[in-house]
Structure formats: structure tokens, C-alpha cells
Amino acid sequence: MIFPRFKLHMCTILLFIIALSGCGNQALYNSSQGGYILFTDGKDVSLLEISFDVTYNRFAITIIPQDINFLTGTKKISEGKVAATTDDGRFTYVFQIQDKDTLCFDENNSSSLSSVNNGSESVQLVDGARFVFSDGSTS
């Protein structure tokens, strides 16, 4: 009979679609796993970290080592980019998802954030600045 076979194929397609619908957040690590640390000139400057709560679509940009949440808000992944919008909706920061371990700052599509200072050092956040995933362990 054609009907049972058709029903089986439709169920398979439906399950495939449902499975894929949860894949959007897999492009980023969850905040419980670690965060993305700013690298400049090929080295960890340990000044800024961005982390994502993929369950609640939230982000936090933290100034380290003080562990101060500098900016918080919601995040949205679309077309290989993650857009992080502050809770007040005034600022959006866009990062190109290079791979699961690396994000690159997209200055042209982001709100202005000229430099960040943690009290002892300052860094200029420029287009293409790399944020590399770290699970917090030391190597």
C-alpha cells in the first residue's frame, strides 16, 4: 500500500526538520562551557570575554580579570553571524562565526565601541578582532 509508505516518509522528514531546528545554537559554546577571549596580535590579552547562554539566547561581555559584566543582553544567530543586543536595545555588536572556536568582531555592523579599559590596560576593538574560545583551564 502506498499510504503507509507515504506516512513513513512524511514522519521521517518531519523528524529531520525537528532535529535541525535545534541546531542553530550549536554554532556557539554555552557559557557553562567557557567563553570567547579577545586575542590581539596573536595573543590572549585577557581583557574582554564574551559568553553566551544558548538556552535563553543571552550574552554577556565581561571585563576581566575584574569579572565585571560590562554589557548584557540578547543574542541572535543568523547567516553565520551572532548579533548581541544590549538589554536596553541601544547597542548591537555583531560577530562573524568563523568556526565554533573563533568569533571575529564586525565593526561595520556594530555599534561604536572604540576602546575598553580594565584599569591597568586598554585595548582598541577593531574590525576583525578575534575572540577565541577558552574553557577556563590553563594549558
Q: What is the pLDDT of residues 23-70, one digit of tens each?
A: 344 577 776 687 888 887 666 566 788 899 888 899 998 877 666 677
- Per-residue pLDDT reduced to its tens digit, 108-117: 999 887 566 6
Question: Could you give all domains of the chain from N- to C-terminal order, each with its CATH number?
Answer: 2-134 (2.40.128)
Look up the pTM and report it: 0.71
- Per-residue pLDDT reduced to its tens digit, 66-99: 666 778 999 999 999 999 999 999 999 999 999 8
Instruction: State CA 93 to chain mean position distance.
Output: 10
| Residue 93 confidence (pLDDT) | 92
